Amino acid sequence: MENRTALVTGAAKGIGSAIALRLARDGYDIVANYHSRPQEASQIVQEIESIGRKALAVQADMACVSQIRKMYDQALERFGKIDLVVNNAGISSEVYFIDATEEDFDRMTAIDWKGLYFSSQFAARSMIERGIKGVIVNISSNQTEGCWPRATIYAPTKAAVSKFTKNAAMELSLYGIRMVAVAPGYTNVGWLKGDIRLEAESRLPFRRFASMEEVASLVSYVASDEAAYMTGNTVLMDGGATLPVVAANDFV
């Protein structure tokens, strides 16, 4: 089987690292993007290489289009092509609407929305130029379906991601390129004791958070040939957190 290459943004930690490792196990060589965690990125590269795949760590601030372009240039120079891109990088700073600053707004939308947009554009251009019928997976959030406090910037950026996925998928279908969004809910990324988000676990229908590996498994599926007829969708996986009333478990 021809070697395949996947680029994963925000791959140094959390869900991104789980996705990178899962795709390596699926047979992909990996370009692992990171912003400010070179040691963690180096560790991910070592783990991928221990699986028997090739890996390259590339630093880039996903808020900066020139750095995103350079990242793709480095990836293509090393591997020659990119078959799959997972736009995972993002920040979720929580701030009440009345306290939000222009800096809060600009930074979050630049990384979570603008960066994803132009990463997808560079990915699509590289695939079209090489005749690759590739896949682009965008990480959205169940915040597009429900409302939580301190999310008046974060949630709309994820809504933009899901809507963008529909529109871009329509255009990219002309080239045989698929684009799908994955929208996780509460996912255990190693929150420390005392984190307010831990209080939500007992109120979820399954009374547990998703694991990072579960999210990675969904990404693996939507990127696979088994999902070859899927494009433009946002696949929600939040353990029922956004189901009406049920999340409070009042019926038990």
Domains in the chain: boundaries: 4-237
User: Looking at residues 64-74, what average pLDDT do you find?
Assistant: 98
- Whether residue 2 is predicted with pLDDT greater than 60 in this model: the reply is yes
Nearest Cα neighbor of 223 from 145, 148, 138, 157 is 138
| CATH number 3.40.50.150 is the correct assignment for the domain at 4-237 | no
- SS3 of 155, please? helix
pTM: 0.92
CB of 12 within 8 A of CB of 34?
yes
CA distance 252 to 249: 6
Q: What is the pLDDT of residue 148?
A: 80
User: Looking at residues 223-230, what average pLDDT do you find?
Assistant: 98
User: Looking at residues 237-246, what average pLDDT do you find?
Assistant: 76
Backbone φ and ψ of 95, nearest 5°: -150, 135
Q: What is the pLDDT of residue 208?
A: 84
CA distance 228 to 231: 8
Band of pLDDT at residue 163, cut at 50, 70 and 90: very high
Backbone φ and ψ of 118, nearest 5°: -75, -30
Nearest Cα neighbor of 136 from 206, 94, 61, 84 is 84
Question: pLDDT tens, 167-203?
Answer: 999 999 999 999 999 999 888 877 667 777 777 788 8
Nearest Cα neighbor of 170 from 86, 233, 82 is 233
Backbone φ and ψ of 65, nearest 5°: -65, -35
Contacts of 222 (CB under 8 A, 6+ apart): 135, 137, 180, 182, 230, 233, 235
- Whether residue 211 is predicted with pLDDT greater than 80 in this model: the reply is yes
- Whether residue 251 is predicted with pLDDT greater than 70 in this model: the reply is no
- SS3 of 12, please? coil
- Active-site residues, by number, are 154
Band of pLDDT at residue 246, cut at 50, 70 and 90: very low
User: Looking at residues 100-112, what average pLDDT do you find?
Assistant: 94
CA distance 95 to 107: 13
